[in-house]
Amino acid sequence: MASRTKTGTQSSAAVLDTPNGERERVFDAFRHWGYLEADLDPLGFLRPAPHVDLRIDNEFAHEARRIYCGTIGVEFMHISDPARRRWIQEHMEGPPPAIDQEKALDLLIRAELFEQVLQQRYLGNKRFSLEGVTALIPLMDEILDAAGQQGAGELVMGMSHRGRLNVIVHIAKRAPEEVFAGFEDVDPRSVLGSGDVKYHMGATGEYQTRSGAKVHIHLVSNPSHLEAVDPVTIGRTRAKHDRTGAAGPKKYLPLLVHGDAAFAGQGIVAETLNFADLPGYTVGGTVHIIANNQIGFTTVPRESHSARFAAQLARRQSIPIFHVNGEDVDAVIRVGRIALEYRYAFHTDVVVDMLGYRRHGHSEVDDPTITQPLLYKAIKEHPPLWEIYSEDIGVEDAATRVQAIRAELEAAQKNASSITKKPTLRDLPAYWDNYTGGRYKPEYEVETGLSTQELSEVTQPLTTYPEDFHIHPKVKKLLEQRAEMGAGKRAVDYGMAEALAFGSLVKAGVPVRLSGQDSRRGTFNQRHSVLVDVENEKEYVPLQHVSAGQARCEIYNSTLSEAGVLGFEYGYSRDYPEALVLWEAQFGDFANVAQAVIDQFISAGEDKWNLLSGVVLLLPHGYEGQGPEHSSARIERFLQLAARDNFQICQPSNAAQYFHLLRRQALRHWRKPLIVFTPKSMLRHPDASSPIEDFTHLHFLNVLPDTEVSNAKRILLCTGKIGHELREERKKRKDNSTAIVFLEQMYPFPEAELIKELERHASARDIVWVQEEPANKGALFYMLPRLRNLAGERPVLSVKRSASASPATGSFKAHEMEQNTLLTLAFSSNAQ
């Protein structure tokens, strides 16, 4: 050992002593720090930041400076794998590739003139011009061409407003007429209250590589919320991979185009980068492009990020960052190819940070000279890129080409004004053919129960493991109990109910994917979907051994993220309608970290884009004295978002109901997001466990009737855990005149079922909505008008905690006092 170390030291010293060693030393300094002195800003406002290690003046330094401080600056020496560093080194230090300059010039002219025609014809409309970072088009063109050579069949791409329309025409190759038509007036009645602005709508198209190969382009619909589309795009790509198998990462390439301010500022970018290499989330590398116009609305980089470059967020990862001057078009194209080939060589993310400027205001109706007068004076005097490039490459008839292309685009614009129906720019994949959205119809129902025989067949593989597996004694006991549950010898709890739902679904060919923080075991120690061998930590997943030919079952512990992970799972559900896709919050309280994903995609996606999802949110909810952040999943927020049957909001109050609900979600062909408030203390509570017979019932019940009490004097209506406490209280009071009815589905509102329950207890005088949540939270505001509508003459009262800014008290004692008061009030005539 010792001698080997010594030899190693000697040999490296020997290398350094040779001229070659000196060359390496100088080059290494530039490989490390060259990007700081690179010439990256077309307008020259971003000055080089001299680095002390680069104060070298010899022939090696001149050569290294030319490579590493020119118009490409690459950060890659933080990459831990020497093979990857060497790869980049070779590509940077080798000869530049031949570039199809004619094609690049043509794209640049087209891209700029497209913006100009929009500007002239639709003055006062927002389009978010690409001018200033126009090289995005030849950059993406090169990436696609290179991707086609690598065998890519589809580009799955997320981007925000900047240059989006341009990309739809020049990359997705939609006819310009179709985009122009979006600016023409259409019949507004067709989109009242729904639809979206033109620079958010998704688009699909076909790109053709130089060798004639076709790459399908899928531009994902996105909200204004910058970067929210990132994890959605990655989730969609992953679903496409999973449908395809091992060839997926080669076939489907994800690409994200970011703004500089958004990339640096939005945490969801960090969340998305962070799961890039994790088994549950990887897509074999995403190409990130920052269309870096060095401004965000009116905010300049020195106000926008603490690092020199917006891109440096990505330094956390062992991936390269290529900064490139957006006015050296050949360099941009070269970087595009290197980045793409790197992604295919090493299957990691890669970042291209293309620096330019923004020719106009943030949108075209905004005047940037108010906030950046000097910058915009310089921009005004700066020629368009096609002009610079045509001079660089010695094209003399550029003006003639410009005229021809302008005529072409103007003709397209004229055609567009005669298009009366707004074209859709998007084709849906065939796997959506069997699924439907829109309003609920009873005909969508399917039977969700299983026979006792079927239940026992699923139980067997779920409660057994290989002979040589060293099981944890606690898990062993749990599986023994589950075996008894499945055999009808013990009431079934939630953990087993869920396992039976998942197991029966995968057996029937429905894939199941669940991710969330600590979801493999379960936050409340309830799931145990992955068994861990106590001697060697090998894993065994019973749900993957249910039957031969079963569908995949994947359960992942997620990163500690809500927005990123929920965005991913929503995206996954968008491209896997056949699968049951679930995201679980650690506690429902944390779901609001993902509020933008809930609001912009899950709630509004169908309304805005006519795009469906069956994603399931499991949100642990319930007032159990655990304080303000471990009590409430904010039922009120979801109910407020509910309209036009956009999603389903449920709280199953027992294990069998949970089982039926999950199976209903997967087996119906009505694809709607499902919000489930899930239990915590009730997970193993006998009151919420179910006899095996309840799993043989036909359906999930939207309303659980009270059949114990006949002709009650008072009806308590509630949802979730409080109902069990009310039952307990009723028993204590030996009360036989109060009915307790559980609303298992709050939205769509189960009106017919509720009417039936109110009629069952027709002589009940009082109808009381009882909830644990404070008066300004929970379902109260939603229930009261609806219940009053059904109750007719009968008064509808309510019992709830006092209105409160915080969801719950931090004191367990105070919680207990409050809870007792609720129960007492529910049975007294003091309810209001």
Ligand X SMILES: Cc1ncc(C[n+]2csc(CCOP(=O)(O)OP(=O)(O)O)c2C)c(N)n1
Residues that bind ligand X (CB under 6 A): 162, 224-226, 259-262, 291, 293, 295-297, 358, 362
Closest approach of Mg ion to the CB of residue 305, in Å: 11
Closest approach of Mg ion to the CB of residue 295, in Å: 5
Q: How far apart are CA 85 and CA 79, in angstroms?
A: 6
Closest approach of ligand X to the CB of residue 11, in Å: 49
Number of neighbouring beta carbons within 10 Å of residue 465: 18
CA dihedral 60, 64, 66, 72 (to 10 degrees): 180
Q: How far apart are CA 596 and CA 609, in angstroms?
A: 16
> Which residues, other chains included, contact 217 with Cβ-Cβ below 8 Å and sequence gap of 6+?
144, 154, 155, 157, 171, 172, 173, 203, 204, 205, 206, 207
CA atoms within 13 A of residue 676's CA, in its CB half-sphere: 29
Which is nearer to ligand X, 91 or 362 (by Cβ)? Answer: 362
CA atoms within 13 A of residue 332's CA, in its CB half-sphere: 32
CB 153 within 8 A of CB 216: yes
What's phi and psi for 286, nearest 5 deg? -110, 140
Residue 229 interacts, among Mg ion, ligand X, none and using kind-specific CB cut-offs from 5 to 8 Å, with none
Binding mask 295-324 for Mg ion (x = CB under 5 A): xx----------------------------
Q: Is 479 helix (H, G, I), strand (E, B) or coil?
A: helix
Which is nearer to ligand X, 602 or 743 (by Cβ)? Answer: 602
Closest approach of ligand X to the CB of residue 358, in Å: 6
Handedness of CA 602, 196, 257, 206 (dihedral sign): positive
CB 730 within 8 A of CB 827: yes
Closest approach of ligand X to the CB of residue 596, in Å: 7
Which is nearer to ligand X, 226 or 485 (by Cβ)? Answer: 226
> Near Mg ion by CB under 5 A, which window of 92-100, 267-275, 286-294, 715-723?
286-294
Closest approach of Mg ion to the CB of residue 360, in Å: 12
Which residues face 353 on adjacent strands? 290, 323
Cis check for the bond before 748: say yes or no (omega within 30 of 0).
yes
Closest approach of ligand X to the CB of residue 332, in Å: 17
Which is nearer to ligand X, 11 or 369 (by Cβ)? Answer: 369
Closest approach of ligand X to the CB of residue 224, in Å: 4
Closest approach of ligand X to the CB of residue 297, in Å: 4
Q: How far apart are CA 256 and CA 565, in angstroms?
A: 17
Nearest to 634 by CA among 622, 648, 646: 622
Which is nearer to ligand X, 292 or 523 (by Cβ)? Answer: 292
Number of amino acids touching Mg ion (CB under 5 A): 6
Which is nearer to ligand X, 295 or 726 (by Cβ)? Answer: 295
> Near Mg ion by CB under 5 A, which window of 241-249, 257-265, 672-680, 792-800?
257-265
Interaction between residue 154 and Mg ion (CB under 5 A): no
Q: How far apart are CA 333 and CA 335, in angstroms?
A: 5
Which is nearer to ligand X, 199 or 342 (by Cβ)? Answer: 199
> Near Mg ion by CB under 5 A, which window of 151-159, 253-261, 276-284, 535-543?
253-261
Closest approach of ligand X to the CB of residue 256, in Å: 12
Which is nearer to ligand X, 162 or 337 (by Cβ)? Answer: 162
Closest approach of ligand X to the CB of residue 162, in Å: 3
> Which residues, other chains included, contact 485 with Cβ-Cβ below 8 Å and sequence gap of 6+?
459, 491, 492, 493, 496, 692
> Near Mg ion by CB under 5 A, which window of 125-133, 190-198, 252-260, 597-605?
252-260
CB 768 within 8 A of CB 716: yes
Cα separations in angstroms, 344 against 149, 502, 548: 11, 35, 34
Residue 297 interacts, among Mg ion, ligand X, none and using kind-specific CB cut-offs from 5 to 8 Å, with ligand X
Nearest to 225 by CA among 251, 254, 262, 261: 262
Residue 353 interacts, among Mg ion, ligand X, none and using kind-specific CB cut-offs from 5 to 8 Å, with none
Residue 226 interacts, among ligand X, Mg ion, none and using kind-specific CB cut-offs from 5 to 8 Å, with ligand X
Residue 262 interacts, among Mg ion, ligand X, none and using kind-specific CB cut-offs from 5 to 8 Å, with ligand X
Indicate the burial class of 1 (C-beta count within 10 angstroms; 0-12, 13-18, 19 or more).
Answer: exposed
CB 738 within 8 A of CB 827: yes
Cα separations in angstroms, 79 against 163, 273, 339: 32, 15, 14
Contact with Mg ion (CB under 5 A): which of 235, 249, 259, 723? 259
**From the CA atom positions of the chain, what is the Rg in Å?**
31
Contact with Mg ion (CB under 5 A): which of 260, 327, 353, 498? 260
Which is nearer to Mg ion, 293 or 809 (by Cβ)? Answer: 293
Q: Is 492 helix (H, G, I), strand (E, B) or coil?
A: strand
Closest approach of ligand X to the CB of residue 160, in Å: 7
Which residue sits closest to ligand X, CB atoms considered? 259
Interaction between residue 293 and Mg ion (CB under 5 A): yes
Which is nearer to Mg ion, 295 or 340 (by Cβ)? Answer: 295
Closest approach of ligand X to the CB of residue 305, in Å: 10
Which is nearer to Mg ion, 120 or 298 (by Cβ)? Answer: 298
Residue 520 interacts, among ligand X, Mg ion, none and using kind-specific CB cut-offs from 5 to 8 Å, with none
Which is nearer to ligand X, 358 or 760 (by Cβ)? Answer: 358
Tokens standing for residue 800: 């709830």
Looking at residue 288, its amino acid is H
Which residues face 252 on adjacent strands? 154
Q: What angle (nearest 5°) sits at the alpha carbon of residue 650, between those of residues 443 and 749? A: 60
Residue 225 interacts, among Mg ion, ligand X, none and using kind-specific CB cut-offs from 5 to 8 Å, with ligand X
CB 370 within 8 A of CB 386: no
Which is nearer to Mg ion, 122 or 297 (by Cβ)? Answer: 297
In the complex, the residues that contact Mg ion under the rule CB under 5 A are 259-261, 293, 295-296
